[in-house]
Structure 1
Amino acid sequence: MKKIIILSLIIIANLSCKAQQIIPVEKAIDYRLAENGIPDNTYFKDINNLLDKFVGTWIGTYNNKTYKFKIDKFVNNYSGGTKEDVLLMRYIITNANGTQIENTTTLSDDNYLVIIGDYIQRSTYHLNYSGRESTCGQLGTIYIEVLKSSNNTKMKLFLLPDKIMISPSSCPQGVSQQIMPIDQIVLTKQ
């Protein structure tokens, strides 16, 4: 009888343990778009090191502003035991006089101003951006891609602003000016 109870406990323990399924991070978008969605206990891991080329400090200029982006790899934990390797992007924007317009370099990982990665598709990485005036239109998707001919030292970046309804009561000045480049710029790795 004792053996039956022990055997039953072992079987129950094995059935309740679900192994983590590791899937390449570049497949994450396929699972999100699939009818069945993302299975619990999935880890979208950068097993092919596709995100590594983006990691580092990148500098460029646009409209008389200097942009310095610091990109790090981060493990994002979602509900259901799902995890994903993503990029976090912090930045300093200065004007031609050297005055800082924005600096997110000291903010915590979960601060809404820290730009968080969404997914990689082909060689382009998509990140979600929200600025200080996100309710007034300062938000969208930032696209980054390392130039193949640059030996991973040049990267192009631009913001595609979201099209949202702006409330006159929340935004009496209308749509906020974008501080991120809406035209493609080329950044150099430091």
Structure 2
Amino acid sequence: MKNIFLLGLILFSIISCKAQTIVPVEKAIDYRRAGGIPDNTYLKDVNNLLAKYTGTWKGSYGGKNYTLYISKTTSKFYQVTRDMLLIRYLITSSNGIVLDDTRSIPDNSPFITEGSYFSKDLTTYALDFAGKNAICGNAGTVFIRIKNTVNTSMSFGYEPDKIMISNDDCPGFKTAELTFPKDGLMLTKQ
């Protein structure tokens, strides 16, 4: 009787297990276009494409100093695991006053800029951004691109989401001040 029970348990375990499919992280855009990532998929950085972006990057624009702290992490959401970049940042005025700082918030905070996908030609990496007062328009997509072969110069672009705002959430239908400039900025690796 014990043997039958043990055999049944083993068969149940084998049938209920599904193998995880490892897919290069650069294929995420294909899944995005197709409508989603299948369960039990691991979008893995098998070709080490994310490493060149990690580290501390600095730049200035419009009287503000931007310091980005980019790290690589592995995240699991439901049945999908993926390697991605996270961006934390410190923004100060030209005289050193802290305007925004996300350095100490946890990885699962909605204010962490989270990696999404590479462009088809692998030159640009897109990340999802939601800043403070995102409901009033301070949210969108960040695009980063290494600009030289020694990986010390990076362009940073920001495209705000086009959303409808309400007078209840945003009195006078006033949109929020954007965290990042829409004109983009150049950053240097530290």
Global fold match (TM > 0.5): yes
Per the alignment, in what secondary structure is the counterpart of residue 101 of structure 1? strand
Aligned to 2:19: 19
Matched residue type, 1:156:
S
Per the alignment, in what secondary structure is the counterpart of residue 12 of structure 2? helix
Aligned-partner Cα distance in 1 for 2:66–2:138: 17
The structural deviation recorded for 1:179 is 2.2
The structural deviation recorded for 1:10 is 3.6
The structural deviation recorded for 1:20 is 1.2
RMSD value over aligned CA atoms? 1.7
**Are 2:156 and 1:130 aligned?**
no
Question: Which one of 85, 88, 96 corresponds to residue 87 of structure 1?
Answer: 85
- Unpaired runs of at least 5, structure 1: none
**Are 2:77 and 1:78 aligned?**
yes
The structural deviation recorded for 1:166 is 1.4
1:20-99 aligned at under 5 Å gives the runs 20-34=20-34, 37-80=36-79, 82-99=80-97
Aligned to 1:186: 186
Runs of 4+ in 1 over 4 A off after TM superposition: 1-9
Q: Percent identity?
A: 45
Aligned to 2:139: 139
The structural deviation recorded for 1:32 is 2.9
Which string of whole-angstrom CA distances, capped at 9 and with x for unpartnered residues, describes residues 124-169 of structure 1? Answer: 111111111111111110000111x341000000110111111122
Closer/same/farther in 2, CA of residues 14 and 184 from structure 1, 3 Å limit: same
Per the alignment, in what secondary structure is the counterpart of residue 164 of structure 1? coil
Give the TM-score normalised by the residue count of structure 1: 0.91
Aligned-partner Cα distance in 2 for 1:22–1:66: 39
Matched residue type, 2:73:
F
Give the TM-score normalised by the residue count of structure 2: 0.91
Aligned-partner Cα distance in 1 for 2:3–2:176: 70
Alignment length (residue pairs): 187
**Are 2:105 and 1:107 aligned?**
yes
